[in-house]
Structure 1
Amino acid sequence: MPSFPVPAPDPAARATALDRLDGLVKPVGSLGRLEELAAWLSAAHGVVPPRPLDDVRVVVFAGDHGVSAQSAYPREITAAMVRVFLAGRSGVTVLAAQVGAKVRVADLAVDWDGFQVPDEVTAHKIRRGSGAIDVEDALAPGEAQAAFEAGRAIAAEEAGAHVLIPGDMGIGNTTVCAAVVAASLGLPSAEVVGTGTGVSGEALERKTAVVAAAVRRASGRVADPFERLTALGSACLAATAGFLVEAAMRRIPVVLDGIFSATAAVVAEEIAPGARQWWLAGHRSTEPAQAFAMKALGLTPILDLGLRLGEGSGAVQAIPTLRAARAIIADMGLLADLT
């Protein structure tokens, strides 16, 4: 497997930030998580105070999944939602506008049927849809690597951002994520499967059975992360992993969203050890697999709002908190200056 060298955040900037935070006009540690985030941003930017977070960009990785039959919504919703993103009327585009973030859609594997979309949306397309992972591989040989490189290219295109957020759109993606998390961390399928778009009862039992069948089918092939993505993942999941790795290599802070980006992060950290130092968890998803992924990565979500929309919508909500963290270290006075 190729090597992806990841630089470490600046330890000297972090130490300087911690010293300054302890000297602000407040009891030591009294601003809690905000202080931790301020030090993290300082280390990521290599300067105290960290730079303003003015240029925040969301990239929504879109693709269809062969297990979409387990969802409460039909496969065609993926393509329809891409058009909603482009029209600026989706959840994440509306929420991103509130914090001044830009939203881009990247079609990696949407199974379009007669719709026309701008060329820039499909510039990195790998295929149409993916295999039903309980009975076949998600991707053809070589496609996981190609999608990973596409994600790296997308991150390179967004290299001017102060913060990047990976979003997702694809009916059936929580099923895929549950399978990849179970295979990556050696967990029972029943512990990682969640309600996704809102399934329950017999539908949830079927979803769990699909994940269990997929993991069994791929057993013996999941040690290699690219082989795992081929068997159980998707083009958009592999691209998100590449996006996360490239962002870390370029020293760009990333705020992860829900289960989809958390799953990609588990694989990305395996491919490029140390990349997780450049990521924050924006919010706590209602999907159980995300909790396992966050624990494996050593990340603690900033917010817990009960969100399960995806798209990058939860991570966008964490941006005001990050800006508040920067403000305290940039603008608060020092105890030493009191007269």
Structure 2
Amino acid sequence: MKPIPLARVVSSCFAIATLALASAAFADDVSFGHDQLCGLQTARPDRNAAVQVKTVQGRNGPIGYARFGRGTPLLLITGYRATLGEWNAYFLGELAKHHDVIVFDNRGVGRSAIVEGRFGPDYGVRDMAADAADVIAGLKLQRADVVGWSMGGMIAQQLALDAREKVASLTLIATAPPGPQAVPLTPEVQQVLSSSGADAFGKIMGVLFPADAVADASKCFVGDMFAPRDYKGRPVPDAVAAQQNQAMTRWFADSAAAAALRRSPMRTLIIAGANDEVLADANARRLEQMIPRARLDVVVDAGHALMFQYPIELARHIDAFVSK
């Protein structure tokens, strides 16, 4: 696939038209400078032996989570075929300077093992959002700022709709809106993300990062993953991956969720990579138009896995929004 062109700065005419429609949303291009893929000399929480993966009881079984940092609660929801270990450790460390960071495994993944007879054989984005709400409740948090990446951004949107009182703000990274206005993954990209075998890693790096960042990303990706002591992110079962894929397919047809988002009062930051080959930045622009209190920032020269490409700057960007 050809790289998606760099996003254009929103013109004043567009801004005036947006205001005329009584929308608080605005968009801008942002640059995080040079890629920070390797050689970071900063804190990472998984070097602390006290940071361990525990479980909290959800309505459908145990949910694996890790918690660290100090400050306001920040719940991160990860994406397709990802465990909590797929977050960049330096990104999490930067967030933990000002926040009580919570990461967790989606159902059927990692420590959130399927409990026979309790997990339904068929579940969707709403069910996974209910799991996220159970994490907030199980940790006895009144509410949390919520960050969702990729499929996790879809779950975060549904969480904000179904449990609005638990969500202080919403940050959506490289994700897509519900309903037919979304631009779904292409079959080719879906096949790459679902691949396994000796050559799968290289192919996946090729769609997660812009072409000029793939080499460094391939060297750094595994070493920079969040790896708390005694946690092994087991391979995601094929049945779980298939169920997640089906959940996203349904999300792209969910007109009711799209209509509800148009009425959402949630303060929302949308962050997209201008060169995202997984979920095109057109999705971010449609999300901005859909959510009344949304702000959109398109990161130039960034792909789908922004937290690995720019871990420190992305964390600071999110913190600036959340802390307002």
Q: TM-score range by the shorter chain?
A: 0.3 to 0.5
Which structure is higher in helix share?
1
Which structure is higher in strand share?
2
The normalised TM-score by structure 1 is 0.36
